[in-house]
Amino acid sequence: MKIAIALKTVVALLVLGALAAYPCLAAPAQNINSAQVKTLLAKEKKIVILDVRTPEEFRQARLHGAVLIPLGELERRMPEIPRDRPLLVYCSVGARSATAAGLLAARGYREVYQMSDGLVGWYKNGFPIER
């Protein structure tokens, strides 16, 4: 009986180790549109809003409270991003944010949302932006 319990423990540890070692097994980022993002932001007050566009794009328009980390800097600056809070990643139309969200999820960030229609979709829906 003790051997069976020990074996189950070893197997469980191996599975957890495999999940940690292989990022492709991590939970994927959730793709949501700008209307869903608006609802999410209204209810989730601790969410980190991550803009992965260029500094020039960020200066022109952004979501209120967004933090700029351009996609090309994301891997290097990942330690700046809290792991204990949900993340919303966006760009202009969803391409760069999809890449960024996938990378964050692969690196173990657990609750990652990606705005699939980007800031363009947000603006087209008449939602507020900062300039």
Q: How far apart are CA 60 and CA 129, in angstroms?
A: 10
Are 89 and 115 in contact by the 8 Å Cβ rule? The answer is yes
Give CA 24 to chain center in angstroms. 15
Q: How far apart are CA 77 and CA 69, in angstroms?
A: 7
Catalytic hit among 29, 37, 91, 101: 91
- Determine whether 24 is an active site residue: no
In the chain, the largest separation of any two C-alpha atoms, in whole Å, equals 66
Q: How far apart are CA 119 and CA 109, in angstroms?
A: 22
Give the active site residues. 91
